[in-house]
Amino acid sequence: MRLPQLVNVLLLGAGGREHAFAWKIAQSERLAKLFIAKGNAGTKSLGTNVDISPTNFAGIKQFVLTNNINLVVVGPEEPLVRGIRDFFAGDDEICYVPVVGPSAAGAMLEGSKQFAKDFMQRNGIPTARYQTFGKNDLEAGYAFLESLKPPYVLKANGLAAGKGVVIPTSLEEAKRELADMLNGKFGIASQKVVIEEYLNGIELSVFVVTDGTDYKILPEAKDYKRVGDGDTGLNTGGMGAVSPVPFATPEFMRKVEERIVKPTIEGLAKEKILYKGFIFVGIMNVDGEPYVIEYNVRMGDPETEVVLPRIESDILDLFEGIVYNSLASKELRISPDTAVTVVAVSGGYPGAYETGKPIEGLDAVGDSLVFHAGTTETKTGVETAGGRVLAVTSKGTGIADALQKSYAALSGIHYEGMYYRKDIGQDLIKLRK
């Protein structure tokens, strides 16, 4: 099976990741029409924004039928965890429309930390030692904490908008946190809590596409999660990213492929879990040995904003391989260039922040790419509409070269309260020396 020669695409999502996807899809010679639900001011110039929520499955079905959509690409995890793929498969009118994204069973790799950990254990995939506790297991949870050394890692089992992981440094704090979580600190997401051993190392995001049998490893990236320079302050969705990552050497990536990627794909097949889409493996490099921190069933944001600019081959062709089991025959050509992205946020993020601030200087950015995250277009121009506002991506021959371009572009952009980290990539530049 193949997609039609000219493809009408519906892309779900509204952030920087989706702007980057829209930008890449729009370069395909096979694209007929691109629709983005809901999109932002940036995606508007690449396709048609559609005011339907990615979790409004009935609305999406109507849109797919009326607009002769040939392919649905899912950006965020929520529609996947809620079973958008199964919704399509189970409906006679749209079951022939392929979806890039796993089944609800596959999306459990992100939707349930316990499921993900048990999957790794069953399939011999290296990960931190752990146990799962429910409301009635508080004493057992305390005992497990006592058996571990600080710091302690506590994870709400369910989706908690990226906030469900807490890393207390003292035993008392860890016990209090466990009790709070089991008592509903994160609602139903923390009805169960996974406690695991702390892994000391440096993190890496690895991205894989699979058609359920074959796989391809996309460029890896490093994400900068904390809001402040020097990795200080609160956790965010991500303040910047770099690809490639110098410590992801061929030797390290071979270990990742043999010990993690292959057993993950084989485990999904063996357990009859339908998976056609992206797998984002969060990895900790502990003295040169890779361990899985988490799986996500989608691309990362802002990692997508550095991964896609390094992919030279056609993305609709790659999607065709994913949805019709022909990934092995598809070409994945990767640029040796370095890509970096620096995220500009609203003042106050990740706490409370204001929106509706006019953004100036978006056109004078040289050859950098400005991916919109939280923006909207009004009669008077483009305004801020979220915590993360823009991701400014640049390519270069190395990290320093690419960074200099992104920071130069950012210096010409302005909105009230604009803030970005000044030290993206600096740790990697130091590692090299």
Residues that bind ligand GLY (CB under 6 A): 223, 237-238, 296, 300-301, 303
Q: Is 128 in the site for ligand AMP (CB under 6 A)?
A: yes
CB of 165 or CB of 217, closer to ligand GLY:
165
CB of 99 or CB of 221, closer to ligand GLY:
221
Residues 211-230 vs ligand AMP: string with x where CB under 6 A?
--------------x-----
Q: By C-alpha distance, which of 228, 297, 284, 294 is closest to 256? A: 284
The one of ligand GLY, ligand AMP, none whose footprint includes residue 135, by CB under 5 to 8 A per kind, is none
Among 196, 211, 305, 320, binds ligand AMP (CB under 6 A): 196
Q: By C-alpha distance, which of 202, 300, 293, 200 is closest to 245? A: 202
On whether the CB atoms of residues 7 and 316 are closer than 8 A, the answer is yes
Phi and psi for 332 in degrees, rounded to 5? -125, 105
SS percent in the chain: helix, strand, coil, step 5: 30, 25, 40
Structure tokens at 140: 């057992």
The one of ligand AMP, ligand GLY, none whose footprint includes residue 423, by CB under 5 to 8 A per kind, is none
- Give CA–CA dist 390/341, Å, rounded: 10
Q: Is 293 in the site for ligand AMP (CB under 6 A)?
A: yes
> Stretches 57-65, 98-106, 198-206, 384-392: which one binds ligand AMP (CB under 6 A)?
198-206
Among 91, 173, 180, 203, binds ligand AMP (CB under 6 A): 203
CB of 224 or CB of 252, closer to ligand AMP:
224
Q: Is 256 in the site for ligand AMP (CB under 6 A)?
A: no
Q: Is 286 in the site for ligand AMP (CB under 6 A)?
A: no
User: Could you tell me which residues come within 8 angstroms of residue 108 by beta carbon, excluding any fewer than 6 positions away?
Assistant: 81, 115, 116
Determine the angle formed by the axes of helices 104-111 and 113-122, rounding to 10 degrees.
Answer: 100
Query: If you search the block for the tokens 């999607």, which residue do you land on?
Result: 319
Q: Is 165 in the site for ligand AMP (CB under 6 A)?
A: yes
On whether the CB atoms of residues 33 and 67 are closer than 8 A, the answer is yes
- Give CA–CA dist 309/325, Å, rounded: 25
Q: Is 320 in the site for ligand AMP (CB under 6 A)?
A: no
The residue at minimum Cβ distance from ligand AMP is: 294
The one of ligand AMP, ligand GLY, none whose footprint includes residue 195, by CB under 5 to 8 A per kind, is none
CB of 151 to ligand AMP, least distance (A): 8
The one of ligand AMP, ligand GLY, none whose footprint includes residue 303, by CB under 5 to 8 A per kind, is ligand GLY
Structure tokens at 93: 């009118």
CB of 421 to ligand GLY, least distance (A): 14
CB of 106 or CB of 238, closer to ligand GLY:
238
Phi and psi for 328 in degrees, rounded to 5? -60, -30
- Give CA–CA dist 232/133, Å, rounded: 30
CB of 201 to ligand GLY, least distance (A): 17
CB of 227 to ligand GLY, least distance (A): 13
- 350 prior amide bond cis, ω within 30: yes
Structure tokens at 238: 């991500």
Q: Is 198 in the site for ligand AMP (CB under 6 A)?
A: yes
CB count within 10 Å of CB 161 equals 9
- Give CA–CA dist 319/313, Å, rounded: 11
The one of ligand GLY, ligand AMP, none whose footprint includes residue 350, by CB under 5 to 8 A per kind, is none
Phi and psi for 169 in degrees, rounded to 5? -100, -20
- Give CA–CA dist 122/129, Å, rounded: 13
CB of 282 to ligand AMP, least distance (A): 5
CB of 408 to ligand AMP, least distance (A): 30
CB of 203 or CB of 427, closer to ligand AMP:
203
- Give CA–CA dist 139/120, Å, rounded: 26
The one of ligand GLY, ligand AMP, none whose footprint includes residue 77, by CB under 5 to 8 A per kind, is none
Query: If you search the block for the tokens 């940036």, which residue do you land on?
Result: 42
CB of 140 to ligand GLY, least distance (A): 30
* Interacting residues with ligand AMP (CB under 6 A): 128, 153, 165, 196, 198-199, 203, 225, 282, 293-294
